Amino acid sequence: MILVTGGAGFIGSNFVLDWLARTDEAVLNLDKLTYAGNLENLASLQGDARHVFVQGDIGDSTLLDSLLTQHRPRAVLNFAAESHVDRSIHGPEDFIQTNVVGTMRLLQSVRAYWQSLDEKQRTAFRFLHVSTDEVYGSLSPTAPAFTENNKLEPNSPYSASKAASDHLVRAWLHTYGLPVLTTNCSNNYGPLHFPEKLIPLIIVNALAGKPLPVYGDGLQIRDWLYVKDHCSAIRRVLEAGRVGEIYNVGGWNEKPNIDIVNTVCTLLDELRPRGDGASYKTQISYVQDRPGHDRRYAIDASKIERELGWRPAETFESGIRKTVQWYLENQAWVTHVQSGAYRDWVQTNYARRS
């Protein structure tokens, strides 16, 4: 069995679904079920004995100790995190509690469990920490892409909290010998993505006839990674990654945000045309940029390809088409996740930027 934290969120649930589609090894899934955690993501696993779900917090040491002792996983994969930059600007404390304090308590519980294992089990055990390229800060237009040797220069409360968690994971390796692995991924997109992030927000707003908000000039550049490619990279790092190493995971797809928005609109024009025949691009609305908005991220994923033989299977063109089609085919899921709390958040974040 493996333990996955945050396994009802976007990346975590995709990972759990892919894992159980490829192996019979069971998953103990621990998720707090905050606004972005959604058991509907895992509905296809209902009744599957290989999937054991527990609602709980990685900051709850008593619960962690009990679960580890009872289920005895051979690996722990930490997806659990508060992950939205805009929310971190409005309320940074939640990010410190989950991403810093929660990670520390998870590491402590896992360390105690790991030390209780026999020598063979200790040698085989792994703690894999899933992080982000945002910990590296911002790049100039001509700077080389982030490698694993870049120093951490976070610029938002979210990225600062993730950088802190990365440092904690490193410290538990060097101080206590815990066999850790860290992955730093670029911007994920794909099925089951909560519609506060750029791509699902544009799809949802376009279909609802609402403005498509683009921060500033829309020329902020990101590297885009299809979520199922990210899942395959994590499986490969867990399988063969060298203890203590960091692996950058990217899609080799650097694109400005406005290009992403235009691409989504073009696909929607093809797959779900507006009734009036106009393009969804007419709904694009430039809004005030967010504070401290990093201008460019870019991932150099050469190391994971060189050492572990991993490359993304999807191009951006194939991945974004699959993503748009998934949202068009799963409107009920979208409706259910757009609770009153979500609508209140969108109003809070975007009303003042008009």
pLDDT at position 37 is 82
pLDDT band, very low/low/confident/very high, at 194 (cuts 50, 70, 90) = confident
Cβ(301)–Cβ(248) below 8 Å:
yes
68-72, long-range: CB within 8 Å, 24+ apart, which pairs? 68/3, 68/109, 68/110, 68/113, 69/113, 71/1, 71/3, 71/28, 72/1
Segment 101-118 mean pLDDT: 98
Segment 193-207 mean pLDDT: 93
The three-point CA angle 190-215-209 to 5° equals 65
Distances (CA, A) of 101 to 3, 44, 59, 106: 19, 32, 7, 9
pTM above 0.85, yes or no: yes
Q: β-strands 221-226, 212-215: how paired?
A: unpaired
Length of the chain: 354
pLDDT at position 342 is 44
Look at residue 339 and tell me whether its pLDDT is greater than 90: no
pLDDT at position 298 is 96
Half-sphere exposure of 127 (CA within 13 A, CB side): 27
For the chain, give the percent of residues with pLDDT over 70: 95
Domain boundaries, the chain: 2-191+225-251+297-313
- Residues 4-61 pLDDT 10s: 999 999 999 999 999 999 999 999 999 999 877 889 999 999 999 999 999 999 999 9
Look at residue 134 and tell me whether its pLDDT is greater than 80: yes
- Residues 206-232 pLDDT 10s: 999 999 999 999 999 999 999 999 999
User: How crowded is residue 151: how many other Cβ atoms within 10 Å of its Cβ?
Assistant: 8
Please provide the average confidence, as pLDDT, over all residues in the chain: 93
- Measure the CA–CA gap between 76 and 48, rounded to whole angstroms: 20
Beta strands in the chain (DSSP E): 2-5, 27-31, 51-55, 75-78, 126-132, 180-185, 187-189, 212-215, 221-226, 246-249, 254-256, 284-287
User: Is CATH 3.40.50.980 the right assignment for the domain spanning 2-191+225-251+297-313?
Assistant: no
Look at residue 172 and tell me whether its pLDDT is greater than 60: yes
Write the single-letter amino acid at 180: V
- Burial of 242 (C-beta count, 10 Å sphere; 0-12/13-18/19+): exposed
- Measure the CA–CA gap between 187 and 299, rounded to whole angstroms: 10
In degrees to the nearest 10, what's the CA dihedral of 178, 181, 187, 193? -70
pLDDT at position 341 is 55
Look at residue 112 and tell me whether its pLDDT is greater than 60: yes
Segment 232-241 mean pLDDT: 98
Look at residue 345 and tell me whether its pLDDT is greater than 50: no
Cβ(42)–Cβ(13) below 8 Å:
yes
pLDDT at position 271 is 98
Cβ(249)–Cβ(184) below 8 Å:
yes
Residues contacting 61, CB < 8 A, separation 6+:
105, 108, 109
pLDDT at position 251 is 97
- Bridge-partner residues for 183, per DSSP? 130, 247
Segment 75-81 mean pLDDT: 97
Look at residue 343 and tell me whether its pLDDT is greater than 50: no
Look at residue 257 and tell me whether its pLDDT is greater than 60: yes
Look at residue 121 and tell me whether its pLDDT is greater than 90: yes
pLDDT band, very low/low/confident/very high, at 98 (cuts 50, 70, 90) = very high
- CA neighbor of 102 nearest in space, from 32, 185, 177: 32
Cβ(4)–Cβ(54) below 8 Å:
no
- Residues 278-305 pLDDT 10s: 999 999 999 998 787 889 999 999 999 9
Residues belonging to the active site: 133-134, 158
